[in-house]
Amino acid sequence: MASPDEKVAFVSNLNGTSLTEVSLGSFLAPLCFLSRGLFLILFHLGKGILPFSWASHLLLDFTSLIMPLVLSCTALSDILHFVIVGLAIVDFAVLYLVYKNGKRGSFSNTTDKFVQSRVESNQVPFVTVFRVLVNVKTAISILAVDFSVFPRRYAKTETYGTGVMDFGVGAYVIANALVCPEARGKPMRGSRIGHVIKQSVSVWPLVLLGFVRLASVKSSGYHEHVTEYGVHWNFFFTLAIVRLVASALLALFPVNSSWILAVFIGGTYQVILETTGLKSFLVRGNNRVGFLQENKEGIFSVVGYVAIYMAGVQIGHYLMQSRALVRDWIRAIRNLLVTSVGLFIALYACQRCIEPVSRRMANLSFCVWTVAQAMFFLSCLSIGDLVLLFSKVISNFSLVSASWTPQNRKSEKVRYNMDALCLVQSVNRNQLLYFLLANVMTGLTNVFIDTLNCSDVLGVSVLILYMFMSSLVIFILHINKITIKFW
């Protein structure tokens, strides 16, 4: 069994991968989601009977949505571009079969009719899918990083660089911001001070979980990468503080100004890093005396995460606006994609003129990269969802869960029946529990398995089993309509 020091060394001093490779990964999940939907449509057109049994739906969702994500960051990581191209070809072929089987006129007439059609306007399915997939990818990565089959370039970087897991941390913050009460347009009840106090009370589960994780790590001797957050700090504390600060800011400023606050906070923080000794304090020296020095990475990076959260609130507020026509969503998705491209251009300027991306400091480059990459991922998911909606319309079939449904009187019933047997909705129902379950199972796996020295085949097998058990637990809770909340 590898020692804790060996495990820490295994995840230390890494430089990440290229921006292109991280962005390339954004295509995989939408293609998998589209494949799963097209399979159901094609099965229906072949006179198959839906829905399946709950076990069959679990197996379908796991093999089509989760297993490819596990394989893409392990055994297939070096040929990821071939996997994506292959999936795209298969999806295009199936889409052609669906169109050929269900078309009712010329392609131009069909698309014109589709663009003018109406969809359910009370929800944004691809936002839900984004949040769930961020959670799923996080669950995979926190265990996979301890296996040698997981590429070191995907792991968190030491000081500068862009690792897949670096993006995952920022994406998790954005995933929470997208659906916060302010982004969803929920009116503030009572005074502003009362609202802030209420939000302060609501984060107590995160604070408690932070202390539980701290106690369990210290008592078990579990390996710790100190330069990630510090000696005592962890991501639960970061999430709690970010939510507190953001609630206070949103009580003082309108939601529409969230992007201004994000730019101001991120820019001001970068100026302080450049003009004071803060940057040197954060990245140099191992002399950790006192609480501030012991947890400097976790404490100061909160500023960057607040900026990311505020940007996420702005994105969520924009996406949650009511849009009933497909053409309106096409315009919104176009704006999302164009903004993402603009932010990538800004990132290039930041890295050339200021400094590279640093998750450790959560500097301005990291904030810009995280928001740009999250918007690009959201754009890919939304385009995939639109293609799936087009397939639903031309096939006159709507039994595909966690995606847009053409607006009609039966749509609500259809969505309810299929969402009740959907792994995506299962994770969405109990997202925090799923994250906790993944953390607990990661710790137990490291206790019983020598992750560092096991073979690649065993490593992949353990990861698949670990993800399946997490999915099974959360799926069983969902089909029994059990929602576990900690507040």
- At residue 48, the pLDDT reads 79
The mean pLDDT value for 311-324 works out to 94
CA gap 368, 43 in Å, rounded: 42
Residue whose pair of structure tokens reads 């050929």 in the numeric block: 100
Portion of the chain with pLDDT greater than 90, in percent: 66
Report the helix count and the strand count for the chain, using DSSP H and E: 23, 0
| Mean predicted confidence (pLDDT) in 445-459 | 91
Paired with 406 in beta bridges are: 119
Q: What is the pLDDT of residue 420?
A: 86
Query: Alpha-carbon torsion 12, 17, 23, 26, what sign?
Result: negative
Tell me the pLDDT band of 412, cut-offs 50, 70 and 90: low
Phi, psi of 276 (to 5 degrees): -125, -175
**Listed range (76-85, 99-108, 443-452) with the worst mean pLDDT:** 99-108
Residue 361: name the closest of 425, 317, 296 by CA.
296
CB-count exposure of residue 297 (10 Å: 0-12, 13-18, 19+): buried
Rounded Cα distance between 160 and 176, Å, is 25
Distances from the Cα of 105 to the Cα of 101, 102, 111, 112, 113, angstroms: 12, 10, 10, 11, 10
According to the model, what pLDDT value does residue 152 have?
94
Burial 163-189 (b: 16+ CB within 10 A, else e): bbbbbbbbbbbbbbbbbbbbbeeeeee
Residue 445: strand, helix, or coil:
helix
User: DSSP letters of 227-259?
Assistant: HHH-SS--HHHHHHHHHHHHHHHHHHS-GGGHH
DSSP 480: T
Alpha carbon of residue 359 to chain centroid: 16
The neighbour count for residue 257, using CB atoms within 10 Å, is 15
Check residue 196 and give its pLDDT. Answer: 75
Band of residue 1 on the pLDDT scale cut at 50, 70, 90 = low
Cα 206 off chain centre by? 18
pTM of the shown model: 0.95
Least confident of 162-176, 363-377, 399-413, 469-483: 399-413
For residue 211, is pLDDT > 80? yes
pLDDT of 260 > 80? The answer is yes
pLDDT of residue 100: 84
The pLDDT score that the predictor gives to residue 177 is 96
Name the β-bridge partners of 17. 162
Worst-scoring range by mean pLDDT, 85-99, 151-165, 203-217, 254-268? Answer: 203-217
Predicted confidence band at 362 (pLDDT cuts at 50, 70, 90)?
very high
DSSP structure string for 30-61: HHHHHHHHHHHHHHHHTT--SS--HHHHHHHH
pLDDT at 447: 86
Structure tokens at 229: 């957050």
Average pLDDT over residues 436-451: 90
Tell me: pLDDT of 18 over 70.
Answer: yes
Task: Show the tokens assigned to 143.
Answer: 């265990």
Whole-angstrom Cα Rg for the chain: 23
pLDDT band at 99 (very low <50, low <70, confident <90, very high): confident
- pLDDT bucket at 118, cuts 50 / 70 / 90: confident
Mean pLDDT, to the nearest integer, of 257-284?
A: 95
